[in-house]
Amino acid sequence: MRYSRMLIPTVKQVPADAEIPSHKLMIRAGLCRRLASGTYTYLPLGWRSLLKVISIVREEMNRAGAQEILMPAVQPIELWQKTGRDVEYGPTMARFKDRHGRLNVLAPTAEEVVTSIAASEISSYKQLPMNIYQISFKFRDEFRPRFGVLRSREFIMKDSYSFGADAESLDETYRIMYETYCRIFRRCGLDFVIVEAESGEM
């Protein structure tokens, strides 16, 4: 395709709400555009770049023996009420009623769904250890969306979940994932530092 026909709307001036360098560069280079507070459209170059990152992540996760699945973004509130995390997330969790009056949520993450799957589908220790992951859209009604696509209301997240028969196998899975993420970051050309931190709300 000719460059003149490609949707690459570069700009010199960036919006005042673009606070960090990466957000400013994405706007100037025509990678994305803001639709509303915390929601963005990836334009052709931005989407191609994102697909390349997703491809690297997928290749390295598969290389590590993880299995890719896709879980629903619409989830029944009952799953979240079992763990009490519907209360923990509070107004950050987007909720809606369907036409039958049943309360659902737009997934901010997928621990509740994946543990439900594991409980019903893993029937023997011989199936373990098992590491499954997905790359999908997540939704969080952020009080103050900021930093462009870094803290937005709708975003693509790769999340993985491991199940093991004992602590030793979980430690081994952690080691494998540690090495996997290091490879991902290196392939993306990123400088990185590994630190200990609380996981918080995922």
The pLDDT averaged over each successive group of 10 residues in the chain (202 residues) is: 80 82 90 91 96 98 98 97 95 95 96 96 95 96 85 93 95 97 97 85 57
Residue 124 belongs to a domain: yes
Number of domains in the chain: 1
Provide the residue range defining the domain that includes 103. 51-188
Q: What is the pLDDT of residues 87-123, one digit of tens each?
A: 999 999 999 999 999 999 999 999 999 999 999 999 9
Q: Tell me whether residue 88 is in a domain.
A: yes
Q: Is residue 79 part of a domain?
A: yes
Q: Answer yes or no: is 141 within a domain.
A: yes
Please check whether residue 196 lies inside any domain of the structure: no
**Predicted pLDDT of residue 200:** 64
Side chain identity at 12, as an amino acid letter? Answer: K
Asked if residue 17 belongs to a domain, the reply is no
At 59 the pLDDT is: 99
Q: Confirm whether 94 is domain-assigned.
A: yes
pTM score of the predicted model: 0.89
Q: What CATH number is attached to the domain comprising 60?
A: 3.30.930.10
Nearest Cα to 143, choosing from 107, 92, 87, 106?
92
Whether the ω angle into residue 91 lies within 30 degrees of 0, i.e. cis, is no
Which residues are registered as beta bridge partners of 96? Answer: 104
Residues 27, 39: Cα–Cα separation, whole Å: 13
127 is a domain residue = yes
